[in-house]
Amino acid sequence: MVESMAVVAIREYDAERDRVGAEAVERMCEVGHSGGAMSLFTDLLGDPLCRVRHSPPFLMLVAELVSGPERAIVGLVRGCIKTVACGSPLLLPSPAKHHTAPAVPIYAKVAYLLGLRVSPAHRRRGIALKLVRRMEEWFKEKGAEYAYMATEKDNEASFRLFTGRCGYSKFRNPAILVHPVFAHRLPLPPRVAILRLTPADAEALYRRRFAATEFFPRDIDAVLANPLSLGSFLAVPAGCSAAARWEGAGAFLADPPASWAVASVWNSKEVFRLEVRGAGRWRRGLARASRAVDRALPWLRIPSVPDLFRPFGLYLLYGVGGEGPAAAAHVRALCGHVHNMARADPGCRVVAAEVAACEPLREGIPHWGRLSCAEDVWCVKRLAEEYSDGSLGDWTKALSPPSIFVDPREF
């Protein structure tokens, strides 16, 4: 039994001395979300920093038990800081025939707190609170104006800690939409052309069209250039001028087709693995049977269920956006294209996207409800007493926008 007066020190993570202990805490605190009788668990790939090292600056703190005969890591937390769009006070008119000019964004320096873990034997001793407060001190030292975190709506302990003791408030409720990768290719609509964008064209399109979208990262160029970003893709009508001859993002935006959509792909398979647990034998048997029938009768194109009961990876769609009456249909074509990409990658068994609860393009993102999370919870806290831009006001009180930009580095 742990003594009630055990002394815990909060300090920065040292990979050489702390890795084994941090990994042990991660294993003891596997997390996931429930879907009926099943749960989807997350497992990092042996690198405790893998979920933040792509978002400089970042920090990882550990809670070390320093009293008693042996020292041990009993808790940890990660944090990173970036500059994101948090709204727009202005919408400029434009002479272009298909659209208005992009809104002028207001940016804020925002910190993201994730991966809070405390070993089961040391909970209810204030360790999580100490980790959060020490991380917030670092956020303030770096000039962060806000901090936010994400948790499952059913994670009552986490929700109570952040909203009840740490001063966070419920802010956004995005949905995580997950679709399995089948053994066969999905047919793509012949009336839609899929174009691969260069990172420069993708950056130009995102900055011109979506820079004012809430949580849009100011360093989108770094996101698109990251080795884990597998490409950006544009869906347009097959007969439009852009499909016939691509002349760059500038020319496209000067005269876009009536409907189009864009999305980028992030290889989360190299960051963490997932695993479905708690499924009964009959569910596992049905999944195996669907794969067996699909292998025997491939011409039927049965949507067989991949093996999700062993660790597997995923591709994440990020930067999902578009314009026009058929934009959702174009998003669906992009999802099919990414599915076919994932199909060729061993170990990648699902494609996921995280979008705002009221995202207009959500209907174009295919997903299975049992694998998805209909309501994630983002909570936010104001850290700075003064704002970098006085016209912003208090972002924590802003109404929910129709769209948000989910940074794949923090998924």
Quote the percentage of the chain above a pLDDT of 70: 88
More confident residue, 312 or 278: 312
Using the 3D structure, point to which of 172, 193, 219 is the last residue of a domain: 172
Flag whether 389 is in a domain: no
Could you report the per-residue pLDDT of 262-291, keeping only the tens digit for each?
999 999 998 888 888 777 787 888 888 888
The tally of domains found in the chain comes to: 2
Which region among 28-37, 186-195, 207-216, 217-226 has the lowest average model confidence (pLDDT)?
Answer: 28-37
Same domain, 113 and 150: yes
Q: Which domain holds residue 24?
A: 8-172
The reported pLDDT for the residue numbered 297 is 80
**CA pair distance 316, 230, nearest whole angstrom:** 10
**What tokens does 87 get?**
């709204």
Flag whether 384 is in a domain: no
Same domain, 138 and 208: no
**What tokens does 134 get?**
């020490």
Same domain, 39 and 153: yes
CATH of the domain at 316: 3.40.630
Flag whether 400 is in a domain: no
CA dihedral 191, 188, 367, 269 (to 10 degrees): -130
Same domain, 78 and 203: no
Helices (H), 255-321: 281-296
- Please classify residue 36 by burial: count the beta carbons closer than 10 Å to its beta carbon, then call 0-12 exposed, 13-18 middle and 19+ buried: exposed
Phi (first) and psi of residue 392, to 5 degrees: -75, -45
Residue whose pair of structure tokens reads 């990251």 in the numeric block: 226
Q: Beta strands 8-12 and 229-237: pairing type?
A: unpaired
Q: How confident is the model at residue 295 (pLDDT cuts 50, 70, 90)?
A: confident
Same domain, 191 and 150: no
In this predicted structure, the answer to whether residue 98 has a pLDDT above a threshold of 80 is: no
Flag whether 387 is in a domain: no
Could you report the per-residue pLDDT of 162-181, keeping only the tens digit for each?
999 999 999 999 999 999 99
In this predicted structure, the answer to whether residue 333 has a pLDDT above a threshold of 90 is: yes
Same domain, 179 and 272: yes
Same domain, 109 and 71: yes
In this predicted structure, the answer to whether residue 313 has a pLDDT above a threshold of 80 is: yes
- Please classify residue 380 by burial: count the beta carbons closer than 10 Å to its beta carbon, then call 0-12 exposed, 13-18 middle and 19+ buried: buried
Same domain, 92 and 183: no
Flag whether 12 is in a domain: yes
Flag whether 362 is in a domain: yes
- Own/partner pairs, 96-100, CB within 8 angstroms, 24+ separation: 96/254, 96/255, 97/255, 98/255, 98/256, 98/257, 98/258, 98/323, 98/324, 99/256, 99/323
Using the 3D structure, point to which of 172, 202, 220 is the last residue of a domain: 172
Same domain, 211 and 116: no
**CA pair distance 410, 52, nearest whole angstrom:** 7
Using the 3D structure, point to which of 172, 207, 227 is the last residue of a domain: 172
Same domain, 227 and 361: yes
Flag whether 394 is in a domain: no
Query: Residue 354: which of 315, 298, 297 has the closest Cα?
Result: 315
Phi (first) and psi of residue 263, to 5 degrees: -160, 150
Q: Are 402 and 361 in contact (CB under 8 A)?
A: no
Q: Are 266 and 411 in contact (CB under 8 A)?
A: yes
* DSSP reduced 3-state for 279: coil
Helices (H), 181-325: 199-210, 220-225, 241-244, 249-254, 281-296
Flag whether 383 is in a domain: no
CATH of the domain at 166: 3.40.630.30
**Mean pLDDT value of segment 47-69:** 86
Same domain, 179 and 164: no
Quote the percentage of the chain above a pLDDT of 90: 63
Same domain, 243 and 103: no
Q: How confident is the model at residue 146 (pLDDT cuts 50, 70, 90)?
A: very high
